Amino acid sequence: MSVADKILKNVQLEKLIIKKDYSTSAEFLHNSQINSWELMKNNFEALKKIETKTFLFDGFKINVQFNPGRIKSTSAEVDENSISSRKCFLCIENLPDEQKGISLPSNFILLCNPYPIFKRHFTISSLTHQPQRIEESFKTFLELSKLFSNKCTLIYNGPECGASAPDHLHFQAGISKAMPVEDDILQIKNDYGKIVKEDDVSIVSLIDDGLRKIILIESTNDAELKLNFIKIINSYRELSSAISEPMINILCSHDEESGWNLIIFLRSRHRPKNYYKTGTDKIVVSPAAVDLGGLIITPREEDFNKLDKEIIKQIFSEISPSAQTFSAFTKKLIEDFN
């Protein structure tokens, strides 16, 4: 199986790609795959009938989605042994026969996610089997988010806090504004944020909204955005004594007028304690970028029914750094920036 065999061939689509209209191309791919791939069609049909419930916090909201199709991803074993003993599901040769994609710049392919959370849900996968790491791929991450300006939000999950394939570099893309934080972020920044750096092209804010520890970078300049990002990664690596990549989840959107909005969620652990319990104490929620973005996925109905504001607070407090760690981080970052 070669890469060329997996690329969707269509004259109309090729014209869109020549025009660099990747948003319409993605829509084309979605519609084509819905018509030719039974599993994907059924799962997107099921998504339309899915139950959600909403909790209002002070200045922002959290939605909970009951999505049985996500059980495999939510409960994926990502320890080294499990990873090395399975076939990599993102490598081209292991993709389902029906799955086709669109070639993207920088050696990436756009694929439809057949187990969706959003009504448009894509995987952006590297054509090379290489570890999930953001520092080396950050520039590409920004470029790809620009290709889907205003239409899709890009998602990155760190290898130790949400990526279900930590051995294969990949991002996700979801239709814009599907996660509450995308609408809420400026309000959250006003209510709970502290600006630690501001110049002509960038604003860096640190936000503790009582649930999450967030860094927001608003920037019109990709080179400076990268410099700021690397500084943040290095500071958090040092503070959390991480050996390789510190635990983070990222959402990135781009707008032609205002540039990039990069939302970084700092993490302290992969899964909350309740995940590992048995019987009625068990709650199958495995938070990643989407959940921190305010759309919590529960694959089991009992967990969907059980989740309330208190449990949500408990889960988020267990997987995020403490208020003390965050304030130490804030202090350190202000020093690093000045």
Q: Is 163 exposed, middle or buried (0-12, 13-18, 19+ CB in 10 A)?
A: buried
Of the candidate spans 90-98, 113-121, 206-214, 250-258, the one that interacts with Zn ion by CB under 5 A turns out to be 90-98
260: left (phi over 0), alpha (psi -120 to 50) or beta: beta
111 touching Zn ion, by CB under 5 A? no
Q: 3-state DSSP: the chain helix, strand, coil percent, rounded to 5?
A: 40, 25, 35
Whose Cβ is closer to Zn ion: residue 34's or residue 83's?
A: 83
Of 112, 91, 95, 102, the residue nearest 40 (C-alpha): 112
Q: Which of 70, 146, 168, 271 binds Zn ion (CB under 5 A)?
A: 168
SS3 283: coil
The helix or strand, by DSSP H or E, that contains position 173, with its residue range, turns out to be strand 170-175
Is the CB of 162 or the CB of 321 nearer to Zn ion? 162
- 217: Cα separation from own chain's centroid: 16
Shortest distance, position 267 Cβ to Zn ion, whole Å: 24
Query: Nearer Cβ to Zn ion, position 20 or 86?
Result: 86
From 30-38, 44-52, 88-96, 324-332, span contacting Zn ion (CB under 5 A): 88-96
Q: Which residues, in sequence order, are CB contacts of 83 under 8 Å at separation 6+?
A: 77, 166, 167
Q: Which residue is at the shortest CB distance from Zn ion? A: 88
d(CA 269, CA 320): 7
Considering only 87-95, 148-156, 194-202, 246-254, which stretch makes contact with Zn ion by CB under 5 A? 87-95
The one among 34, 91, 242, 311 contacting Zn ion by CB under 5 A = 91
Buried b (16+ CB within 10 A) or exposed e, 40-73: beebbeebeeeeeeebebeebebbbbbbebbeeb
Tell me the window of 12-20, 35-43, 125-133, 313-321 that interacts with Zn ion (CB under 5 A). Answer: 125-133
d(CA 146, CA 235): 27
Q: Which of 129, 133, 139, 282 is in the footprint of Zn ion by CB under 5 A?
A: 129
- Shortest separation between residue 108's beta carbon and Zn ion, angstroms: 13
Q: Amino acid identity of 132? A: Q
Selected range binding Zn ion among 9-17, 85-93, 275-283, 313-321, rule: CB under 5 A: 85-93
Nearer to Zn ion, 128 or 322 (CB): 128
**Binding status of residue 88 toward Zn ion by CB under 5 A:** yes
Stretch that binds Zn ion, among 38-46, 100-108, 168-176, 202-210 (CB under 5 A): 168-176
Report the C-alpha gap between 111 and 101 in whole angstroms: 5
- Indicate the residue among 55 and 89 with the shorter CB distance to Zn ion: 89
Q: How many residues bind Zn ion (CB under 5 A)?
A: 5
Shortest distance (Å) from residue 88 CB to Zn ion: 3
- Please provide the DSSP assignment of 50-103 as one string: -EEEEEEETTEEEEEEE-GGGHHHHT---SHHHHHTS--TTSGGGS-TT--EEE
Q: Tell me: does residue 6 bind Zn ion (CB under 5 A).
A: no
- Which of 90, 104, 211, 297 touches Zn ion by CB under 5 A? 90
Q: Identify which of 166, 195, 24 has the alpha carbon closest to the alpha carbon of residue 102.
A: 24
Tokens for 280?
């009625």
Q: Which of residues 206-265 bind Zn ion (CB under 5 A)?
A: none
Which residues lie near Zn ion (CB under 5 A)? 88, 90-91, 129, 168
